[in-house]
Amino acid sequence: MTTTAPRLTEAVSAYARAPLGPVSDEVMGLAKRTLVDTIGVALAARAEPAVTILERTLGALPEGPSTIWATGARTSATTAALLNGTAGHALDFDDVTDITYGHPSVVLWPAIFAAAEQEGSDGRSMLEAFVVGFGVQVALASAMDVRAHYGAGWHSTATIGVIGAAAGVSRLMRLDDDQTRCAIGLAASMAGGSRQNFGTMTKPLHPGLAAESAVMAARLASNGFTADVDQLDSALGYFSMFSPGADVDAALGRLSGTDAFLEAGVNVKKYPCCYNTHRTADATLDLRERSGIDPSSIDSVHVVLEPGGFDPLLHHRPQTGLQGKFSVEYVIAAALLDGRVTLATFTDDQVQRPEIQALIAKITWATAEVPPFGPAEWDQAYSAITVETPAGRLEMRTDVPRGDRRAPLSVDDLEAKFIDCCEFSGQGWDARALLDELWNIDGVDRVSGLKSLREH
């Protein structure tokens, strides 16, 4: 590991506590977009078993100042963070960043929103805490070999997210240097999440636990609970466990201002499934639309992704809706047969349709450094799909999916997604009123939930 001064835990603490400097309208706008998207997908998951079983298991909840988004009820900041983080990831519809190879907002927002309610923070301070927490995530990922970390089985959404969220919550709680460093040390000991659980209810529990741990770490530290104040870069610390040989200098270069947030950007999901399927979904839907293909005439389908592209796509013969979210074969089959990939696509009944299962059996896959057709160059990832029919071969390739930071959803598209999420929940929320509150959150003097949720 590169040695340097100041040590990284100290530098993260300094960044978490320092004035953020000039914050542009672009930064505030992007931060609000992440909040809109995170709360929307959490509301959509109101009736998901991962959410309802967790609620039932927790039983009577403690009283507190923080809001459970899906119910409007109040509870402790830690409990709200746990429930909101789990709900936000239950449909796998939340945003993604390439640099962390994970979902940044679904850990940050449940922790930071709950802590802001606990502290009575104003809306702008809450948004700035999110930007700082995001910056810490980017810094950690910059130092790590994230793909190797992910390939070893760690769920980077949680393992990286918990540190960034702890930094953001520490900022809102105005912890001093020693307290913030202890909060980071505590969060590092709480980091975890096994990718073997992808396709089960445990995957969305990972960010829920990470958000809860971030709030708990900061609260413990504020009350004098100790941890190693140099945890991130110590011999037996965070990087030694999760990414030996990490480049600390690379992380230090990210810990200032808002550049890391803007440069990393956010990929907003258009489809409620693993982001590694999105290029394939776009390619398949475009191929279907342009060719007018009859799915019953298909002899075979072959899809090629970049090396490592199948790492999260564990389920090649899915039988449940959750497994279908991590199956490129199912996404292809659904796109070909139905001409769409929506929230309703990922139910057990939809996955188990005989015609779907028959088409899945015709799909093969491979990875290649050089795509089988189109330009040899690609950035981040690609998906190349080939469909064989009696009439001949059809090909389609997508490198940049809709909603990617390089091809972002418009405000209208983002709002349409939010409204669809509210409607999918079946809870009767006033989506437009909620949107108005969220877009104007930076003008709130004291964060105290959302009026439209309380009145529901």
Give the start-to-end residue ranges of the domains of the chain: 8-270+410-454, 275-398
What fold, for 275-398? 60s Ribosomal Protein L30; Chain: A; (3.30.1330)
pTM: 0.93
Residue whose structure tokens are 């437009």? 432
Q: Give the Å distances, CA to CA, from 64 to 117, 119, 454.
A: 9, 11, 15
Of all helices (H) and strands (E), which one includes residue 170? helix 156-172
Cβ neighbours for 384, distance < 8 A, ≥ 6 positions apart: 283, 303, 304, 305, 371, 372, 373, 374, 395, 396, 397
Rounded distance between C-alpha atoms, residue 326 and residue 311, angstroms:
10
Is the domain covering 8-270+410-454 a CATH 1.10.4100.10 domain? yes
Per-residue pLDDT of the chain (456 residues; tens, 9 = 90+): 444 445 899 999 999 999 998 899 999 999 999 999 999 999 999 999 999 999 999 999 999 999 999 999 999 999 999 999 999 999 999 999 999 999 999 999 999 999 999 999 999 999 999 999 999 999 999 999 999 999 999 999 999 999 999 999 999 999 999 999 999 999 999 999 999 999 999 999 999 999 999 999 999 999 999 999 999 989 999 999 999 989 999 999 899 999 999 999 999 999 999 999 999 999 999 999 999 999 999 999 999 999 999 999 999 999 999 999 999 999 999 999 999 999 999 999 999 999 999 999 999 999 999 999 999 999 999 999 999 999 999 999 999 999 999 999 999 999 999 999 999 999 999 999 999 999 999 999 999 988 888 766
